Amino acid sequence: MSKDRFSIGVCQLRTETDYEATMEKAEAMIRESAASGADIVVLPEMFSCPYNRQYFRVFAERGHEDTCRRLAAWARENRILLIGGSVPEREGDLLYNTGFVYDAQGQLLARHRKVHLFDVDLPGMRFFESRTFTPGKEITVFDTGFGRMGLAVCFDVRFPELFRAMARRGAEVIFLPAQFNMTTGPAHWEATLRTRAVDNEVFLVAASAARYVGFSYECWGHSMILDPYGKALAAADETEQLLLAEIDRNRIAEVRAQLPTFLHLREELYAVAD
C-alpha cells in the first residue's frame, strides 16, 4: 500500500564546469536531504553538466553511465526515491536531455527524455536545444511506494497537454527538473508552475539549478513545491539551498472535492476536429 504522507527534498545546486566538483556537491546535498527526513530527493535539469551547448556533447562523450551509477548508489545508500534531474544521455549518434529515477534499492524506475526542446529567439536570449538534442516521445508516469508520479523536464511545462496527460494517467505528484533563464524566469516561472498544479489538482515539484552569476547561461533558480491548490509549501531564492516539504496525498482528494474541475472534464468536447 502506498504511503499517504512523506517528505520531499529539492537540491537547488549550482552546476560547476568541473564534473567531479558538481558530483561531490550533489552527493552531499542528497545526504543532507535524507538526513533531514526526505523520502524523495530531486535534482535539477542538467545537474551534472553546465547548461550551455558547448558542454553538452563534451559531457555526453564521457558517458551518462557514470552519472547513473552514482545516482543509483546515492538512492540505495540513502534509502530514498531519487529523481535524478536530467543529464546528457547518448544513444548511438543521438543525444537526449534525460531524467532518470531510481528507487531505494538503486534500481532504475523510470526514464524521461525531454519531449519539448528549448528553441527560442527572445530579446537578449537565443537558444536552440534541438541543434544538440533529439526530442523524447514518451509520457512518463511511474508507480512508487508513495503513489503514482510523473516526470517532465523544464520546457515541457509550457505544454499543458503533457501535464494533463500525466494527471489523466493517475500521476498525483509531478516532478519538473528545470533551468529557466533570467528572461523567462521572472516573467513566467511561478505563474506557469502554479497553473499546472491548479489545472490538474496535483502536487508539483519544480527543481531548478541555482544561479551561476557570470556564466553564459544564468539560471533563474527559485525552486518550488506546490500543493494541488497552488499553495507554495516551500520556495527558494536563486542561491544554493535545500527545500523540504511534507506531502499529504489526502490533500488531492480534498481539493478535488471542494473544486472538482479535474473531475468534470468534458473530453468529448476537446478533441481537435479532423
For 88-97, how does the pLDDT look when each residue is reduced to its tens digit (9 = 90+)? 999 998 999 9
CA–CA separation, 96 and 109 (whole Å): 18
Q: Which of 11, 49, 154, 219 is catalytic?
A: 154
pLDDT at 220: 97
Q: Which residues of the chain have pLDDT under 70?
A: 125, 273-274
Q: Is 68 a catalytic residue?
A: no
Q: Which of 114, 172, 190, 201 is catalytic?
A: 114
Q: Is 45 a catalytic residue?
A: yes
Domain count for the chain: 1
For 59-106, how does the pLDDT look when each residue is reduced to its tens digit (9 = 90+)? 888 889 999 999 999 999 999 999 999 999 999 989 999 999 999 999
Cβ-count burial of 202 within 10 angstroms (0-12 exposed, 13-18 middle, 19+ buried)? buried
pLDDT at 255: 97
What CATH number corresponds to the domain at position 86? 3.60.110.10
Domain coverage including residue 238: 5-270
pLDDT at 274: 63
* Buried-state track 87-98, b at ≥16 Cβ within 10 A, e below 16: bbbbeeeebbbb
pLDDT at 69: 97
Q: Which of 45, 172, 190, 238 is catalytic?
A: 45
